[in-house]
Structure 1
Amino acid sequence: MKVVIAEKHSVARELARVFGAKAHGEGCLECPGYAFTWAFGHLIQLAPPEAYGFNGWKQEHPPMLPEVFQLAVKKAKIKEGYTDDPFIVKQLQNIKHLFNEATEIIVATDAWREGELIFRYIYQYLKCNKPFKRLWISSQTDEAIKNGFKNLKPGSTYDTLFYSAQCRSEADWIVGVNVTQALSIAAGNRSVLSLGRVQTPTLAMICARYIENKGFIVTPYFQIQLSLQKNGIVFKATGTTNYNSKPEAEQAAKRVQSTARIMSVEIKEEKETPPLLHDLGSLQQEANRKHGYTAEQTLGITQNLYENKLITYPRTESRYIDENVFSTIPGLIRILKRHPNLATAAGTLSAMNLNKKYVDAENVTDHHALLITPVRPGQFSAEQRDIYHPVASRMLESFHHDYFKELTTITLVSDSILFIANGVVIKSRGWRAVLNETEETDDHNNQGTLPAVYEKEILHVVKTEILSKKTKQRPLFTEATLLKAMETAGREMEDEALRQTMKDNGLGTPTTRANIIETLIEQDYILREKKNLIPTSRGLSVYDIVKDKRIAQPELTGQWEKRLEEIRTGTDVPAFKKEIRDYAAAITQELLANGETLQNLSPDKPGEDRMICPACKKGIIKLNPKAAGCSDYQSGCQFTVWRNISGKTLTDTHLKTLILKGKTPGLKGFVSKAGKAFEAALALENGKVSFVF
């Protein structure tokens, strides 16, 4: 019997359907010759510090550097603490039985780093030593699944991918556990101050931008603008001199003559090549910018579209395709001839020679760029439509022709003051015709065709105006701009092709970046304010502690991400592990040595956000890792609000709002006993917490 193990039940069910497997076994679906089983994501994780004898949080523990890492079953929260999740234990027993009976194991977890890690950790935990093969597909259409099973790869082909995933997992444990404990211990254990390999430099970028933005001094300045005329065409030219005050600009404007002389006329043609195909990261940015979706929401919707066979593998980091995939593009374009918004563009493109700029096998990683599939979509939800449409439209844009425009720049002078007039004429809309969009940032769009003029010609000045302007600070990070900054470890660059070459030096991966942002929010380090991401007082306190340390430097973590990618291609694993261990030892000792400073900066220091206990009216509410409780508990006050309520972990902000105001706003992420997600506010009355729907 061949045992196929998928990452989750829905995928196993879909694979089983293709093979006609309908019979239900223990934790599997069966048909003659095959059994399809599943994990629940990360069933097995690296064991916590307690497994190595580090019980409690004590100053002598860090750095904790296990020689050999142990694996453990994912834990579930119970009243007494944490225990092995019984559902996971049961499914592991089912998987172990199937592996024991298997003549062949086929790995069908997600075809990338984390999917490989999920299987290998289960395989190692169960002490299985049977050989296995790998299913590697980029689409869940029936044809792709069947072809994938015909072309299974030896499991050893992906050993280096596992080594990369394992190094990532162990590095995050070593840095996260040690630095978090060292920082929290040094700060007096008033609350958990969590830091991590990727989350800390991400927090640093958000805090630094926020401080820079709030400290920016807006400076007004003034310019002179002329309206000129020739052959009945009126156009505008703006002075190149900035004046510090309006009276100064007005005085200069008085000297401007009634005419201006043409100094030069430059006409040049520019082209814009089509944008790269989407990967997950660029799709998340567009979805946030246009629809306000969080990175996590976009990831969830793309996964849903993938499992419904409507798009290819979503967790891709590539924005290119190879020749084999290119051969399918004409058919995919024909499918869009029936799309309500893209039919015209698809019809036009079908009759053209396709642009092959992004057909390059060397730039394709383990999965090609995001594409639609040959499956014709039926009824969409609003969320599915919002994500499917940019994947489809970007595919049309990327294989379309260049956009051409003619730029005219006229330089004039009047009373020794230089003025510039810009005009643009679109020669061919090319790829911009797909969505009929104009350029997002283009100073030339203020004017269309300028009149024909020649050097040394004198033009009549129709009107002189004073323009009032202000210097602008860099905007606060939105989720879209933060994801963009994380791609290149904080280096700002707009050129997409250049950004693509930098992606291996970024913070995290397209898949993990969403989780990093959500983790920072859950830890009460940042919050969403409209579209912006801003730090909380707690986040700013942590940033103040670490801002000058290596852990907060995006470039360092970006270099580590590059090393992980190099490990995937076969470079030295021990060297990276030693570097991480040496770094963790150094940074934890540095944090512990700064204990007094950290205690002064602790977000729970006396006098800041003091909350009188609503029950006894005497004690002070203390925020601890597992709950908020009264400091006067030794006198009998039992007031407690647990952080974990119905599967959702409350942040410090949630707890403070609930205790100080008696009610939170509506919160998402609760899970009922039946396993269904729901949204509700929390209310506090007579010391008891209840849901408000």
Structure 2
Amino acid sequence: MIAIIAEKPSVGREIARIAGATEAKDGYMEGNGYSVTWALGHLVQLALPGTYGYTRTSGDNLPLLPDPFQLVIRQRKTDRGMATDPVAAKQLRTIDSVFSRCSAIIVATDAGREGELIFRYIYSYLGYTKPFRRLWISSLTDEAIRKGLSELKEGTEYDSLYHAADCRAKADWLVGINASQALAIASGTFNQSLGRVQTPTLAMICARFKENREFVPTDYWQLSVTLKKGDDFRQFRHVENIPEKTEADRLYDRITIDSMAAITKTERKRGFQAPPLLYDLTALQKDCNVHLDLSAEKTLAVAQSLYEKKLISYPRTGSRYIPDDVMRQVPDLLRGVIGMKEFREYGGTLDWDNLSTRSVNAGKVTDHHALIVTGVQPVMETLTEQEQAVYRMIAGRMLEAFSPVCEKETLVIEAAVDGLTFRSHSVSVVKPGWRAVFNRSEDKENDEETENKGTARFDESETVPVSGRSLAKKKTMPKPLYTEATLLAAMESCGKELADEEAREAMKELGIGTPATRAAVIATLFKREYVERSGKALVPTDKGMAVYEAVRKMRVADVELTGSWEKTLMQIERHKLSPETFMRSISVYARQVTEEVLSIRFPETASGGIVCPKCGKGKIILRQKLAKCNNEGCGLLVFRRFLNKELTDQHLAQLFSSGTTKLIKGFKGKKGTAFDAALAFDKEYNVTLSFPKPQARNAPKQSGRKNTGRKSTGH
């Protein structure tokens, strides 16, 4: 009997069907010499600090550096703390039973770092040494599964992949657990989570938020003239922005309607915009956030569903390229795509004998090639609206990637008016090429392009009359707040803003997180209540800003340093670095991070002896960013900043002593509307808004927003 282990039941049942294991059992399928079972995600995990006898008493116990690390069955949070997940324990017993009766094992967990780790931790925890081989496939079509089962790889070929995944998990544990525990000890009861990738990501969001909010706009002026030729008008802008109003007025007055403009330059350039590369997961998540308003986490979930329905290739890929053998399948795949009603009209514009090969490069394919459709034709009516939309994005991108270039003509005209130089710039599409697939406008279009669509030809040395002039007051603008799309791009390039697609590709190894983990990192920031959405923008909460302010100058928040660790993990995967060397380095780093966080000094003042209303034992201590109970077992804390209002010592004293404050003026809702309200504790000692009755109807809704100091685990 041969055991096959998949990552989840749906995939296991598909593989079982192909293998002929059709008899359903409890937690596995059997038949034709195979027993096909499955994990339920991570059934086994690294043990928590308590397993090593750690209790939070003082910084002397830190850093915690297990050697060796211990594995335990997946834990879940209960009212009494962390406990073994009974569902995981039951399935693990089933896997143990299947493995014990089989002579060999085929690993069919997802073909990537995390899939490899899921199996290896199970295999190690159960103590097996039986040989195993690897099913490595990029789609779940029947053909791909059959081909994969006939071309199994030796399990040892993926040892380096496992070592990279194992080192990543241990690095997250060492940095996250130690930094979070150190922060709790340094602050007394500031029980907030820090993480190896989570905290630098939060730091990017908070730094951008502060930069945006503290930005002081500067006025400047733009001087423009309108030139007339026949019945055609074209606007020209002065080549320099004017910083001073008096100078702007002087130049404006210098030009009159009687002025004549001498055309000094006309330049036409033909340009070619290459088709975009195929999607990897991060590129798909960015576009789905922009065009479909889907979060990174939701996009991944939808893509995973499409993968399990055999409609697309493996979604957690970090590559935007395909090898030559896959390229040979592309014409047939494209014929399937143009059979969709959305793309039917586009089929005639493809150059079938000369498809673009920009996305074809075997040397740039990682574990999996770029995201493509499989050729299995979707029955759209059976898919959810989001599945349909994401499938169209992937199918449409395939059409774009193999289409001709977009051909454009750029026209630049310069004119001299009363000694001043003015310029007109416009771009026209000659042949849309790949841009005809979705027919979307450029993401960043020059404002002048929309103003200059006239057809009149201006020739050098000719003179034309000025028919109008204008002076517009403008303001410098701050960098915009991050959206999930722009945050994903920043994570991919370690915060560097790179417009060029090839430059972004080159930076990938220095990014923070991986395509497979970035969505989970962003989701964790929401779960911890560090970040919230304001429209599409990501905005830090008071809690998130408090964490950022505490650690922003430390290694644990350093984006580029975190990116260098990701590159090191990739070196392990490529056999260029031993896991032992990495673990020695990350242990030193964890020690440095711990020492830095323990060194934080939180200034505090007494509240005048107010007894904690929650536990009745501790006293309330007032600090710069928060107020909290000094009884470690209580955990009650309130952040000073609440809805853009800084709470005074008097406000906090009222709240802790009587459970409510007097009316406080100047709160601001998410839309910037100012309002007045009191603050009060609810039954769980979260801070809520309390409105006087006459104002209750007009008060803005706050969506149940709370200022809460709820405890979070550090993993």
* TM-score, with length taken from structure 1: 0.87
Structure 1 residue 611 displacement after superposition: 9.8
Structure 2 residue aligned with 1:566, among 564, 571, 584? Answer: 571
> CA contact under 8 A between 1:612 and 1:621: conserved in structure 2?
no
Question: What SS does structure 2 have at the residue aligned with 1:261?
Answer: strand
Structure 1 residue aligned with 2:493, among 488, 493, 510? Answer: 488
Residues 18 and 628 of structure 1, relative CA distance in 2, 3 Å threshold: farther
Q: Report the counterpart of residue 200 of structure 1 in structure 2.
A: 199
CA distance in 1, matches of 2:386, 2:22: 31
Question: What SS does structure 1 have at the residue aligned with 2:225?
Answer: strand
Question: What SS does structure 1 have at the residue aligned with 2:226?
Answer: strand
> CA contact under 8 A between 1:9 and 1:40: conserved in structure 2?
yes
Structure 1 residue 577 displacement after superposition: 1.2
CA distance in 2, matches of 1:313, 1:434: 24
Question: What SS does structure 2 have at the residue aligned with 1:160?
Answer: helix
CA distance in 1, matches of 2:551, 2:271: 46
> Counterpart amino acid of 1:240?
V
Residues 91 and 286 of structure 1, relative CA distance in 2, 3 Å threshold: same
> CA contact under 8 A between 2:113 and 2:165: conserved in structure 1?
yes
Structure 1 residue 588 displacement after superposition: 0.9
> Counterpart amino acid of 1:402?
V
Residues 660 and 424 of structure 1, relative CA distance in 2, 3 Å threshold: closer
Q: Aligned ranges for residues 549-564 of structure 1 at < 5 Å?
A: 549-564=554-569
CA deviation digits over 1:498-520, x for unaligned, max 9?
10111111010112111111111
Residues 68 and 375 of structure 1, relative CA distance in 2, 3 Å threshold: same
CA distance in 2, matches of 1:26, 1:511: 30
> Counterpart amino acid of 1:346?
G
Residues 268 and 518 of structure 1, relative CA distance in 2, 3 Å threshold: same
Q: Aligned ranges for residues 173-572 of structure 1 at < 5 Å?
A: 173-188=173-188, 190-244=189-243, 246=245, 248-257=247-256, 258-349=259-350, 351-378=352-379, 379=381, 380-443=383-446, 445-446=449-450, 447-448=452-453, 451-572=456-577
Structure 2 residue aligned with 1:660, among 684, 688, 692? Answer: 688
> CA contact under 8 A between 1:479 and 1:532: conserved in structure 2?
yes
The alignment status of 1:90 with 2:79, answered yes or no, reads no
CA distance in 1, matches of 2:629, 2:704: 19
Q: Report the counterpart of residue 10 of structure 2 in structure 1.
A: 10
Question: What SS does structure 1 have at the residue aligned with 2:92?
Answer: helix
Structure 1 residue 624 displacement after superposition: 10
Structure 1 residue 47 displacement after superposition: 0.8
Q: Aligned ranges for residues 509-658 of structure 1 at < 5 Å?
A: 509-572=514-577, 573-594=579-600, 597-598=601-602, 600=604
CA deviation digits over 1:449-481, x for unaligned, max 9?
553233222111111111222211100001110
CA distance in 2, matches of 1:373, 1:408: 42
CA distance in 2, matches of 1:525, 1:683: 13
CA distance in 2, matches of 1:251, 1:462: 19
CA distance in 1, matches of 2:208, 2:286: 18
Select between 585-594 and 318-327 the one with higher mean Cα deviation: 585-594
Select between 376-385 and 301-310 the one with higher mean Cα deviation: 376-385
> CA contact under 8 A between 1:135 and 1:152: conserved in structure 2?
yes
CA distance in 1, matches of 2:354, 2:59: 67
Select between 54-63 and 24-33 the one with higher mean Cα deviation: 54-63
CA distance in 2, matches of 1:654, 1:136: 53
Structure 1 residue 18 displacement after superposition: 2.2
CA deviation digits over 1:134-165, x for unaligned, max 9?
00011011111111111110000100000100
Question: What SS does structure 1 have at the residue aligned with 2:220?
Answer: strand
CA distance in 1, matches of 2:634, 2:499: 44
CA distance in 2, matches of 1:11, 1:268: 53
> Counterpart amino acid of 2:593?
I
CA deviation digits over 1:274-296, x for unaligned, max 9?
01111110111111111221111
> Counterpart amino acid of 2:5?
I
CA distance in 2, matches of 1:332, 1:252: 60
Structure 1 residue 425 displacement after superposition: 2.7
RMSD of aligned Cα (Å): 2.9
> Counterpart amino acid of 1:232?
D
Residues 662 and 295 of structure 1, relative CA distance in 2, 3 Å threshold: farther
Residues 523 and 566 of structure 1, relative CA distance in 2, 3 Å threshold: same
Structure 1 residue 219 displacement after superposition: 1.9
Query: 5+ unaligned residues in a row in structure 1: which ranges?
Result: 632-638, 640-652, 664-680, 685-693
CA distance in 1, matches of 2:582, 2:315: 29
Question: What SS does structure 2 have at the residue aligned with 1:139?
Answer: coil
Structure 1 residue 599 displacement after superposition: 5.6
> What is the percentage of aligned positions where both structures have the same residue?
42
Structure 1 residue 592 displacement after superposition: 1.5
CA distance in 2, matches of 1:517, 1:486: 10
Residues 455 and 626 of structure 1, relative CA distance in 2, 3 Å threshold: farther
Residues 48 and 355 of structure 1, relative CA distance in 2, 3 Å threshold: same
Q: Report the counterpart of residue 666 of structure 1 in structure 2.
A: none
CA distance in 2, matches of 1:157, 1:576: 20
Structure 1 residue 255 displacement after superposition: 0.9
CA distance in 2, matches of 1:16, 1:309: 15
> Counterpart amino acid of 2:175?
V
Residues 106 and 62 of structure 1, relative CA distance in 2, 3 Å threshold: same
Q: How many residues align?
A: 639
> Counterpart amino acid of 2:237?
T
CA deviation digits over 1:37-85, x for unaligned, max 9?
0111111111111222213453221111112111111113334333212
> Counterpart amino acid of 1:241?
E
Q: Report the counterpart of residue 691 of structure 1 in structure 2.
A: none
> Counterpart amino acid of 1:422?
H
Question: What SS does structure 1 have at the residue aligned with 2:192?
Answer: coil
Structure 1 residue 244 displacement after superposition: 3.6
CA deviation digits over 1:89-114, x for unaligned, max 9?
12111111111111220000010000
CA distance in 2, matches of 1:626, 1:510: 39
CA distance in 2, matches of 1:473, 1:154: 54
* TM-score, with length taken from structure 2: 0.84
Structure 1 residue 658 displacement after superposition: 6.0
Q: Report the counterpart of residue 165 of structure 2 in structure 1.
A: 165
> CA contact under 8 A between 2:282 and 2:318: conserved in structure 1?
yes
Residues 254 and 450 of structure 1, relative CA distance in 2, 3 Å threshold: farther
Select between 193-202 and 298-307 the one with higher mean Cα deviation: 193-202
CA distance in 1, matches of 2:460, 2:324: 51
